[in-house]
Amino acid sequence: MRMILVGPPGAGKGTQAARLVDKYGIPHISSGDMLRAAVKAGTELGVTADRYMKAGQLVPDDVVIGMILERIAAPDCAKGFMLDGFPRTIPQAEALDAAMTKAGVAIDVVLLFEVPDALIVERGVGRRNDPITGRIYHIKFDPPPAEVTERLVHRKDDHEAAINERLHYYHDWTAPIMPFYEGKGLLRRVDGVGTPDEVSARVVKALA
């Protein structure tokens, strides 16, 4: 299964991906997680990416495309993968399409998580990530247990100004890729409002 998860920032892509990984046994490839790892490691790519990410802007296409195409060519992706946060622009979608065609494979499904802008800011501001387990929490919607609270991380781009900037980039640059996948008959829209369990049930239906 080769799957793409797309949607506005904080729509719940990472939350649902964690549940889908167990079901399909394919690697979860989050462009945001890969870029944050590069920032932490202080690589050249990370130094470039950090400038854009802190401000809630998109990292340039050439940087992200190279990183993802290299990752999906790895042996553990031979039977499939779950892309989360990529593609995010038309050039990224076209580069992925060309790489798939060259490899003689194809994307099976694109899940679009739809959440109104008004909810996005609240989800982002309250998000906390566990750097040890990778678990995503929310201080109100999915509160962390007391024993992990101390070590939780609040992402640098999870403040209101950066979230609004990320939303702006989503509407201007990412939403326009949907007709590309709709035209190929691959797009499945999932209502992302409701509890994570309710959204999971809709994902199962969309993938049936």
Using Cβ positions, the residue closest to ligand AP5 within the complex turns out to be 32
Q: Considering the complex, state which of residue 11 and residue 187 has its C-beta at the smaller distance from ligand AP5.
A: 11
Strands 136-138 and 109-114: unpaired
**Is-contact 17 84, C-beta < 8 A?**
yes
Closest CA to 110 of 170, 31, 183: 183
Q: Please pick, among 2, 123, 128, 166, the residue that the annotation labels catalytic.
A: 166
Q: Considering the complex, state which of residue 26 and residue 155 has its C-beta at the smaller distance from ligand AP5.
A: 155
Annotate each residue in 112-131 with x if it binds ligand AP5 (CB under 6 A) or - if it does not, as one string: -----------x--xx----
φ, ψ of residue 81 in degrees (nearest 5)? -165, 165
Least distance (Å) between residue 59 CB and ligand AP5 = 4
13 has catalytic annotation? yes
* Interacting span for ligand AP5 (CB under 6 A) from 37-45, 58-66, 98-106, 146-154: 58-66
64 binds ligand AP5 (CB under 6 A): yes
Q: Considering the complex, state which of residue 104 and residue 132 has its C-beta at the smaller distance from ligand AP5.
A: 132
Q: Please pick, among 19, 71, 135, 155, the residue that the annotation labels catalytic.
A: 155
The amino acid at 163: I
Q: What are the residues facing 137 on neighbouring strands?
A: 128
Distance from the Cα of residue 112 to its chain's centroid: 11
- Please say whether the dihedral angle defined by the alpha carbons of residues 130, 204, 5 and 126, taken in this order, is positive or negative: negative
- The CA–CA distances, whole Å, from 108 to 83, 87, 104, 154 equal 12, 15, 13, 34
Least distance (Å) between residue 203 CB and ligand AP5 = 11
- What lies within 8 Å, CB to CB, of 22 at 6+ separation is none
Binding residue for ligand AP5, selected from 45, 53, 110, 187, defined by CB under 6 A: 53
**Is-contact 100 70, C-beta < 8 A?**
no
Return residues touching ligand AP5 (CB under 6 A). Answer: 7, 9-15, 31-32, 35, 52-53, 56-59, 64, 85-86, 88, 92, 123, 126-127, 136-138, 141-142, 157, 166, 194-196, 199
